[in-house]
Chain A
């Protein structure tokens, strides 16, 4: 009896595997988190220490000069304002279009819903492409406006599928039939029964759409023209990747000093751009995970 029990427990526990697994996971965490942490620490550290290229664990010499300059740089603030505007407007439009449509497509008595769904899913795999969309945006006169960056992305078919699957699986058709017997219309049922029961999926949609809208870059670059309408992502790219940082530090005399400060400023700008989402995500990530799972129930 004793002899039998021993290997059993060993197999169940498998300590070597557990230790190796934990070590691998710890390394994965460090590799994922360190670059983010490094940028944050570097943004608060004296420039000459940062540019010496060592691993930073904490700000060895505290320095906030980068942030002082960023605060005085107007395009960052106009970028922030635009990004918030586009995110709020874009998300509201997306919700108003996606959720009712998903409900309607989830109803099994909706005539032709398979065909309609096919029309939506087809666009996931085949689209007109960049140039026809650009010409359309110009043609219908929304080029350069708020609508050019919120309407083309109003529906994500992927989100529509997640939402529809949610309604299909969590709202029994019998519920509607019962409501109908009591004289409830489709509108009434959607607004007074379906929506209140769907706060999870609404939360997931808000998160998916607002993250996408906050991070939007290419559409803004293509469909907007005035520099004061550009969202934060475009400003950030101009400053860091096309190296326009020098504009922020014109009062420095020595060119080498100026370049050093310019390098330093990049860290602060990255932090300013990435921080809002990184602060919010720990609280919302479980909804993200849930959203993915809702969508994957039906494959």
Chain B
């Protein structure tokens, strides 16, 4: 539909709108529940974020509460807890990225080259299993397996050493968090790489075999370059989620004794907001977390656009 003239612009816009609506109203009706959901549960809370800049008082409501400016941000930045939670978040998610990101790629490459098709299926099926288990169950399994009477300590004691209190000693929080995370999601995260590997043209491998390339060489020079774009997308997403990782699991693994390392920004938001009812302060801390996340994601995207000529947006 071409609009007719400059004068009638607004009228024709309205006309166009009613026309598309009458043509497409059923499509809009199908979309409507999701739009309502989006407005209520996603965008209304974004408006609620404004209480980070106010002295929220439930009697006055969000609009009526007095403006407080950056008071709560200053309060957060001036305390020690800011450094502790930020450091803990970045370290634990950095370690998760450093170890948890490459492992599924390696696993997919090795699984893809596994000779025996039946065995390959079995390995893949087993590798998904932990993904279906909730964080509560995973942490519970950790707690019983790593307990002083669990088999891990049984093995340590059989070598003549003393039992280790894995679940309470702070120095074991990060290894256990990252390790159990790999256990949970390695197989599932490998699916996307396996799908990409299925797209490797077989004649590339045949040609390389004729040239006498070993399997390792073929993995490095054929398989890896083929899945490189997928790896980059996953990396951007992973970096974009650096500040928002696994708050449920951190919360579950937290005990009074390991908070020095297990208190991350999001668990702190939960405590400050829902346990201590400091709504404005906790919202400010949460907003800080989201903003850092958005900055990281955009930065990763820009770097990837510049270096690999590829980005999410």
Contact = CB atoms under 8 A, between A and B. Distances in A.
Interface of A: 7-8, 11-12, 14, 17-18, 21-22, 24-25, 28-29, 31-33, 35-36, 38-39, 42, 50-56, 96-98, 100-101, 103-105, 107, 109-111, 116, 119-120, 123, 125-136, 140, 151-152, 154-155, 160, 185-187, 190, 211, 214-215, 217-218, 222, 233-234, 236-237, 240-241, 263, 266-267, 269-270, 273-274, 277-278, 281-282, 285, 288-289, 292-293, 296, 299
A184 to B, nearest CB: 11
Chain A interface main SS type: helix
Interface string B1-37: 0000000000000000000100010111111011101
A202 to B, nearest CB: 15
B233 A299 contact: yes
A190 B123 CA distance: 39
Contacts of B119: 22, 25
A73 to B, nearest CB: 16
A222 B30 contact: no
Given A288-B128, A288-B191, 5 more contacts: A14-B214, A217-B252, A234-B136, A266-B144, A270-B141
B235 interface: no
Given A28-B107, A29-B123, A101-B31, A274 B133 contact: yes
Contact of B128 (A8, A218, A270, A285): A285
A278 B215 contact: no
Q: Which of B44, B137, B279 has the most CB of A within 10 A?
A: B137
Contacts of B181: none
Contact of B230 (A24, A125, A296): A296
Nearest to B156: A53
Given A127-B290, A129-B45, A185-B26, A292 B192 contact: yes
Contacts of B33: 96-97, 100-101
Contacts of B154: 52-55
A222 B251 CA distance: 13
A116 B31 contact: yes
A266 B144 CA distance: 8
Size class of the contact patch on chain B: 35 or more
B129 A32 contact: yes
A250 to B, nearest CB: 22
Nearest to B130: A32
B191 A293 contact: yes
A129 B40 contact: no
B31 A105 contact: yes
B110 interface: yes
Contacts, number: 287
A289 B194 CA distance: 10
Given A25-B114, A111-B20, A266-B140, A123 B38 contact: yes
A278 B48 CA distance: 39
Contact of A8 (B24, B29, B210): B210
Contacts of A42: 144
A12 B34 contact: no
Given A135-B48, A241-B252, A293-B191, A18 B136 contact: no
A273 B157 CA distance: 30
B240 interface: yes
A128 B48 contact: yes
Contacts of A131: 48, 51, 269, 273-274, 279, 282-283, 286
A126 B44 contact: no
Contacts of B27: 104, 107, 110, 186
A129 B209 contact: no
Given A107-B27, A135-B48, A236 B136 contact: yes
Given A55-B154, A133-B41, A266-B140, A281 B129 contact: yes
A83 B228 CA distance: 41
